[in-house]
Amino acid sequence: MRPSGRNLSDMRPISIETGVMRHAEGSCLISCGDTKVLCSATIEEKAPPFLKGSGQGWVTAEYGMLPRATNSRNRREAAAGKQSGRTQEIQRLIGRALRAGVDRRALGERQIVIDCDVIQADGGTRCASITGGWVALRLAVNKLLKANIITTDPIMDHVAAVSCGIYAGQPIVDLDYAEDSEAGTDGNFILTGSGRLIEVQMAAEGATFSRPEMNQLLDLAEAGIAQLVAAQKAAVA
C-alpha cells in the first residue's frame, strides 16, 4: 500500500488554473496533489544573440522554490548569491523539454521565457513545472497568433512529464515526497502528447532495476502522461 492510499497506477489529483497572473502573456497554477507550481510565460521580441539572423526563436526556462515550499525553510538563492546546481539542472531540463515541442522557425526571432516558481513541494516539482510550463507557453503563443504577429502555430505537440519509481518493490506512478524519499528506483519521463519520448531520467537510488521493471515504469508513465495531456487540453480549451 502506498502511503497516500493510492493504487500503484493512480495519479494524484491534477488541476490547472489559467490566467492567474495579470501581466504575463500566459500563466497557470498547476497542482499535482500537494505540489503546486506557478508558471508564467513572457514574450521577448528578440532572440538570444547566438540566434541573431537565423530566423529561429528560442524557449527557455527559469525555476525557483519559495523558502517555505518545503517543511523547513530553504534560504533564498538570491541571498546566497548563486543558484544551486539542482536549480540550474532543473531549469535546463524544463527548457529542453518545452523546446522539443516547438517549431522554432515558425516562432520567429523571438524568445519566450517560462518562469516556474514552486510555492509548495511534495515531490515531482520538475514534472509539474514542465506540464504547467507548456500550458503557459500555449497561452502565450495563442496571443501571438491572435495578434497576427505569427501566422503559423509553432507548437507541434503537447509536452508533459511524470515521475515513476520502484517503491517497496512495486512500480508506481507520480511519486509524492514520502515515496520519492524511500524509492529504490526513481525516474522522470517526459513525453509528447502523441507518446514520443523527449527525455527519460532514471537512477537506482537504493537498488538496481531490471529491463522488465523499466518497461513497467514506461507503461505507467504513458498512462499518466495521457491524463496530464487531457488536463492541459481542458485548461487551454
**Which letter, b or e, does each residue of 156-195 get, where b requires 16 or more Cβ atoms within 10 Å of its Cβ?**
ebbbbbbbbbbbeeebbbbbbbebbeebbbbbbbbbbbee
Q: Where are the alpha helices (DSSP H) in the chain?
A: 77-80, 85-99, 104-107, 125-146, 177-180, 211-236
- The verdict on whether residue 124 carries a ligand-binding annotation is yes
Q: To 5 degrees, how large is the angle CA 69–CA 74–CA 78?
A: 105
- The verdict on whether residue 192 carries a ligand-binding annotation is no
- The verdict on whether residue 126 carries a ligand-binding annotation is yes
- The verdict on whether residue 95 carries a ligand-binding annotation is no
- 130 with 92: CB under 8 angstroms? no
The count of C-alpha atoms lying within 13 angstroms of the C-alpha of 140, restricted to the half-sphere facing its C-beta, is 30
Cβ atoms < 10 Å from Cβ of 142: 15
Cβ atoms < 10 Å from Cβ of 149: 13
User: Which residues are annotated binding-site positions?
Assistant: 86, 124-126
User: Which residues are annotated binding-site positions for phosphate?
Assistant: 86, 124-126
